[in-house]
Amino acid sequence: MSPKAKPEGVWADQPFKLLDTPGKDKPLSNPVIYVASHMALVHNTFIRALNSIYLHAPLIATSNKILSRDLLSYCQCWVALVALHHQTEEKFLFSAFEERIPGAKGVLAVNVQQHEEFHDGLAAFEKYVDSALAGKESYDSERLLKLIDGFSEPLMTHFNDEISTLMRLEETGQGKDVMKVHEEFEVIVRKDIDGSKVGPMTLLNADKTYEGGKHPFPVMPKFVPYLIKYLVSRKYAGAWKFGSCDYWGQPVTLFMNTLEGKKALAVA
């Protein structure tokens, strides 16, 4: 699928760099390439959303109560999505690969170690976001960016490295089982989901045009984006203006570059 229109101005592919998928120039019919590519696409949704936070934060004045609250709420939903992903990887995915795929023992342990490296920084970010939303602290964009700087480097390293460790499962020659474990992982993630936070966050940052639109991600029945847009998104309605795509995976102009956004950001 190619984009309907190019987003205007700076977009959510910076400052943190999006990942190339292993399937960019290799066949997705290979189960390990499919699974590793799927993981890269998931990580890219996290990166686009974080980029949007990073780009919008300094443009919002502390006194702009409505917009700062909406951004903090978006931050809270982002933390929920990333936490769900890492918890499910630790609880199920990595151990299932290691236990059920002969030859996979030890291959993925480094990913869990890396989770430790950004854990404290991410927890500090979450704590600030929660307490600012609870009215215990005021919105301070410099502090918000500093907190992101406190975990972004190990987090990006981890997002990159996990793809190459998953590709190492190719050496086991057990592609079918790798796919089976991954399918179970997908079911577990959906079961644990707090849909109102992570549903819109995922859809609004999953660019279906990425790498020429060759990836079917996220795969879901056709009615689901409608359900998420018109029903599920209501609880955190103010947050979703910071998304980088529409509910159908088409990149959109970032809020800061729209007329509506420019007007809202000009409020002191």
Q: How far apart are CA 209 and CA 49, in angstroms?
A: 16
Pick between residue 60 and residue 163 the one whose CB is nearest to Fe ion.
163
Pick between residue 70 and residue 162 the one whose CB is nearest to Fe ion.
162
Q: How far apart are CA 10 and CA 257, in angstroms?
A: 8
Residue 199 tokens read as 């549903």
| Smallest distance from Fe ion to CB 41, Å | 10
Pick between residue 162 and residue 207 the one whose CB is nearest to Fe ion.
162
Q: Is the peptide bond before 218 cis (omega within 30 degrees of 0)?
A: yes
| Smallest distance from Fe ion to CB 159, Å | 7
| Smallest distance from Fe ion to CB 163, Å | 8
3-state secondary structure of 251: strand
Q: How far apart are CA 93 and CA 186, in angstroms?
A: 9
Pick between residue 40 and residue 204 the one whose CB is nearest to Fe ion.
40
Q: Tell me, residue by residue from 160 to 199, as one string, x for binding to Fe ion by CB under 5 A and - for no binding.
A: --x-------------------------------------
Give the footprint of Fe ion on residues 125-164 (CB under 5 A).
Answer: 162
Pick between residue 83 and residue 133 the one whose CB is nearest to Fe ion.
83
Residue 36 tokens read as 């590793």
| Smallest distance from Fe ion to CB 140, Å | 30
The whole-angstrom distance between residue 263's C-alpha and the CA centroid of its chain comes to 28
| Smallest distance from Fe ion to CB 85, Å | 6
Alpha helical stretches, state H, 16-168: 31-56, 65-88, 94-100, 109-133, 141-167
Quickly tell me which residue has 């979703």 as its tokens: 240
| Smallest distance from Fe ion to CB 162, Å | 5
Give the footprint of Fe ion on residues 46-85 (CB under 5 A).
Answer: none
Pick between residue 130 and residue 186 the one whose CB is nearest to Fe ion.
186
Pick between residue 162 and residue 177 the one whose CB is nearest to Fe ion.
162
Side-chain-side CA neighbours of 22 within 13 Å: the count stands at: 24
Secondary structure of 170-227 in HEC code, one letter for each residue: HHHCCHHHHHHHHHHHHHHHHHCCCHHHHHHHHHCCCCCCHHHHCCCCCCCCCCHHHH
| Smallest distance from Fe ion to CB 70, Å | 27
Quickly tell me which residue has 């290691």 as its tokens: 98
Binding-site ranges for Fe ion (CB under 5 A): 162
